[in-house]
Structure 1
Amino acid sequence: MPQPLATRAPAKINLTLHVLGRRADGYHALESLVAFASTGDDLRLEPGAALALAVDGPTAALAGSGADNLVLKASRLLAERVEGLRLGTFHLTKRLPVAAGIGGGSSDAAAALRLLARLNGLPLSHPAVREAARLTGADVPVCLEPRARMMRGTGAELGAALDLPRLFAVLVNPRVPVETPAVFKALGLQPGQRLAGEVHPAIEPRGLIDALRAARNDLEPPALRLQPLIGEALGLLGRTTGCRLARMSGSGATVFSLYDGCGTTAEAARAVKHARPDWWVKATSLR
């Protein structure tokens, strides 16, 4: 009997997110440095005749297990492109908050593609795997091989993997969903309009946090207008001892802060949990 396959679906953190403008087709052109956390969801695949999904874990109730789940969507898209693709039952343990700006669903979908590729002896560079990732969602391609890198355009233009130093971080989500389309709408760009602002700084391992400080997340101001709790979370993190940078990830509502070591990171996480025990708070590291 085939043995189950397993992988981690790590949280995706947008360390930077510059909106260059809105294209004539309505999509926004982005430039973003992405890193991945040591925390995330877990996905297991039991090979079998039919495709199925079971979901458990702390945030399972919000993830859904129906046809709209991105694990199933990605799997079906790959099956449409690879004749005789071996499938099975996925078991997703959901820990990340949903609609949180950290790519939880996208990372789950990418993890499903990794497991199916492994089961079927396909490299991740296989055109069918890449196409299934692209069609599943804008953040899925960057999550397929979860390494720090630049992503550009609508998300499909990926730079080479970057060997960044380990970043110690606290992730905080105030347990309010923020829908990405609403944030882009609040940004207010019309098709063909560019967003003013400094160009994205060069990213080098030396002086990384200084480079991050010189960058920004252009979706943070509109997200703050839609959900003021994001500002409260940023304020809490910014006041923690040793905080080097506090910023929102993606379209929110998750925010992160960076520190020099695991000790100050753990202390900061405890401080935020004490102040807001109802929030999702996780001390982690990013690479």
Structure 2
Amino acid sequence: MSVASAARPRVELARAKVNLTLHVTGRRSDGYHLLDSLVVFPQIGDRISLQEASGLDLRIEGPFARDLHTPAGDNLVLKAITSFSASARIPLPGLLVTLTKRLPVASGVGGGSSDAATTLRLLEDFTGTYLSEEELHALALSLGADVPVCLVPEPQVMRGIGELISSGPELPACGIVLVNPKVSVSTSDVFKALTSCDNAPMPLLPEGFDTLGQLAAYLESYRNDLQAPAVGLEPQIGAVLSALQEDRRVEFARMSGSGATCFGLCELAHAMEIERSLREAHPQWWIASGPLA
């Protein structure tokens, strides 16, 4: 590690992973479900900071820090560091890692996966040790099925259990509002409530969408197959969707992942206005807004 690279803290936004579509297309013999999903990464997320230290230390702060109940050894950020060190065949680096947890935990927007992927990217820069694309992908997949797609926070299509990734379409300049009613739903329970695991995949995506209207029209034709079972398990998700759909400034609303976070797409100029309106009406909900890409 060079002195210059060690002296500068590395800081990056660990962007939320939002499933604009999520088709469940099958189930493997090992129980993993096969997915077909258009994934985007808005400018909303956690914050990861890496700074040189004498040993390895993880500090968790932010509004959702207390909700991370896993033992320190099970934290994905620490697992990313130890796994990277082993894969790169370098000594465990001395680091002070600060995770500012701004995204709700277990909320369907891949917060932990994005934290891990962001840590891997920062580690390469911090240590000056770069893995091959294949090695980094395999390392990310060993940490979790959603980690590989978070390595490149741009529109992507993920298939299989999350390991098959291709570039997504160009998106229009627009805004997104994320809303979570501060309830948790079990991903395994949502999948158990799914009535069919063999659903049609997405059709071939266009190269891009010129307008928000075009994107909304495309999304209307496709699905999140986990939305209905999640709403059945937790009716507050339905209340969030209704609140978004009733706002005329929202062009399209859907649940992300297995819930409970939902999103509303809108013109960028309306995003903060919608956030404020929802905060006034539902002060108990978590709400954030920003550019879609």
**What TM-score do you get using the length of structure 1 for normalisation?**
0.92
1:24 maps to 29
Q: CA deviation at 1:161?
A: 5.0
Distance change in 2, residues 1:35/1:85 (3 Å) = farther
Secondary structure at the aligned position of 1:72 is classed as helix
1:182 aligns with 2:186: no
1:201, 1:211 within 8 Å by CA — same for their partners in 2?
no
Runs of 4+ in 1 over 3 A off after TM superposition: 122-128, 197-201
Q: Is the 1:200–1:215 contact (alpha carbons within 8 Å) kept by the matching residues of 2?
A: no
Deviates more, 1:144-153 or 1:83-92: 83-92
Q: Deviations over 1:46-75 (max 9, x none)?
A: 123533210001111112471111101111
1:194 equivalent in structure 2: 198
Per the TM alignment, residue 125 of structure 1 is displaced from its structure 2 partner at its CA by 4.2
> How far did 1:221 drift?
0.6
Q: Between Structure 1 and Structure 2, how many residues are aligned?
A: 282
CA contact (8 A) 2:268 2:291 kept: no
Question: Identity over the aligned pairs, expressed in percent?
Answer: 43
Counterparts of 2:267 and 2:88, CA distance in 1: 46
User: Which residue is equivalent to 2:103?
Assistant: 96
One-letter identity of the residue aligned with 1:19:
V
Residue 99 of structure 1 aligns to a residue whose secondary structure is coil
Unaligned runs of 5+ in 2: 1-5
Q: Which residue of 2 aligns with 1:261?
A: 268
1:122 pairs, out of 129, 148, 151, with 129
Distance (whole Å) between structure 1 residues aligned to residue 195 and residue 222 of structure 2: 21
Deviation, 1:129, is: 2.4
Question: What is the rounded CA distance, in whole Å, between the counterparts of 1:179 and 1:166 in structure 2?
Answer: 33
Aligned to 1:219: 226
- 1:136 and 2:143 equivalent? yes
Shift of 1:198: 6.7
- Shift of residue 176, structure 1, vs aligned partner: 0.7
After TM superposition, give the deviation of residue 105 of structure 1 in Å. Answer: 0.6
Note the C-alpha offset of 1:222.
0.8
- 8 Å CA contact 1:54–1:92 kept in 2: the answer is yes
Q: CA deviation at 1:127?
A: 3.6
Which of 276, 279, 284 is 2:290 aligned to?
284
Residue in 1 aligned with 2:43?
Answer: 38
**Contiguous gaps of at least 5 residues in structure 1:** none
Pairwise CA distance, 1:275 = 1.5
Q: Indicate yes or no: 2:7 matched with 1:2.
A: yes
**Pair 1:198–1:116, CA change in 2 (3 A):** closer
Aligned equivalent of 2:3: none
Give TM-score scaled by structure 2 length. 0.90
Q: Is the Cα contact below 8 Å between 1:19 and 1:28 reproduced in 2?
A: yes
